[in-house]
Amino acid sequence: MTDIDKKAAARSLARINMNFEHDDIIFKTYWFRVLCEGEYSWNYKEHSHSFYELHMCLKGSCEFYSDGNLYKLKEKDFIIIPPKTKHHIEKVSPKLTKFGWAFSAQSKSLNNDLLDLWLGSASGGKVYHAPDAISREIEFIENSALEKELLYRTLIYDGAFRLFVLFLRSIAENPPQIESCTEEQTDMRGLAIQSYILDNLAGGISIADLARQFYLSEKQISRIVKSSFGKTFGELKRSLQTQEVCNLIADTDKSLKEIALLSGFSDEYSMSKVFKKEEGMSPGLYRKGIKEP
């Protein structure tokens, strides 16, 4: 595929809901994409997620900081970042082309997260080298998204499952190289945005941060948030901050000053102002009410 075709395929793939089932396995996908240097702005800010992230260099190289360690990825290298792990891109080479997949996989019969069982200690802190079959499978998926032949969605889902198996086999067979939109898709993006805000409240988060993370414009982020939650970004953030304050008051003995910072407020006064507007009382009165028998 030419570079122009690759970009067109990426746009076509972005419009496909990549949540699918295969036999007993339910795959929930937050994003599935091939990104090229010059077309997107990489997210250099430290962040974390509540789901697994897989990154693979298709062309060029890049460096990741994950859990405080630096990992260097060359062409056809990949890394899996587990949930709740702080990470960010440190450096990219010119004309980098990178595949990214953020997802979870759950068994319908066992009702558990299969990635935790299958990946175990394989995820986080390890760089793996992918066989050529993985690059070919990604190209197959891109071509299917671009050409849209009969049953192309089924072809893409089957290709994604084969890709998943190939990555697992690569992890099992290769020693690690350790170096220090549709309405349904909009709903999933809304959940991913909500999860990202919750995961990164303490560090402070803006709509510009979300736009960089999800490779969307700020207007698109606002539209998805409004469609999913009926709120503006600011309203959603304040609601989630208030929820976090309630949880910290109920579950910890931290001071209100500490809770304010953990919830993403600049100080206790700002927290009290928002909390009173959302809950109709101050955080102090809320704490008193739930602590008293």
Query: Can you give the pLDDT at residue 109?
Result: 64
Of 21-25, 49-53, 115-119, 225-229, which range is least confident? 115-119
**Domains of the chain listed by start with CATH number:** 3-173 (2.60.120.280), 183-291 (1.10.10.60)
With CA atoms as reference, report the closest residue to 62 among 91, 88, 102: 91
Question: Is the pLDDT assigned to residue 115 strictly greater than 80?
Answer: no
With CA atoms as reference, report the closest residue to 135 among 39, 223, 58: 58
Question: Is the pLDDT assigned to residue 119 strictly greater than 70?
Answer: no
* Euclidean distance between CA atoms 281 and 97, whole angstroms: 51
Q: In what order do the strands lie in the sheet with 62-66?
A: 69-73, 62-66, 87-92
pTM over 0.75: no
Encode pLDDT of 163-218 as tens digits.
998 998 888 776 544 444 454 454 577 888 888 898 889 888 899 988 888 777 88
* Euclidean distance between CA atoms 198 and 183, whole angstroms: 23
Confidence of residue 238 (pLDDT cuts 50, 70, 90): very high
